[in-house]
Amino acid sequence: MSDLKTRFEAAVANSKNLSERPDNATLLKIYALYKQATTGDNAEKKPGFGDMVGRAKWDAWNNCKGTSSDDAMQQYIDLIESLA
């Protein structure tokens, strides 16, 4: 397993133990980077207007489109470390 992948998995574990809950914009960024790192570009259908949380998450992930998995992992690691 690569060093980046190991550090990413450690950051994912650390994200569950942050001292305080990040604001919603930061939570969306964490979600988007995680999805981009693990799944790649968003190919899912955009949720309807009634699902505001789903739409926000979809939009955040879609904004990462074109980011490589390695870049997304590094950004995720950097973000979690900045919050710890």
- Identify the pLDDT of residue 26: 97
Average pLDDT over residues 65-75: 97
56-80: average pLDDT: 97
Helix ranges (H only) for the chain are 3-15, 24-38, 52-62, 69-83
Cβ neighbours of residue 55 under 8 Å, at least 6 residues apart?
46, 47, 48, 49
Residues 6+ apart with CB under 8 A from 65: 41, 42
* pLDDT value, residue 84: 87
Looking at the predicted structure, is the pLDDT value of residue 1 above 70?
no
Give the whole-angstrom CA distance, residue 7 versus residue 73. 9
The domains located in the chain, with CATH, are 3-83 (1.20.80.10)
- Whether the CA torsion 26, 78, 17, 83 is positive or negative: it is negative
Q: Report pLDDT digits (tens) over 13-52.
A: 999 999 999 999 999 999 999 999 999 999 999 999 999 9
Q: Confidence class of residue 2 from pLDDT cuts 50, 70 and 90?
A: confident
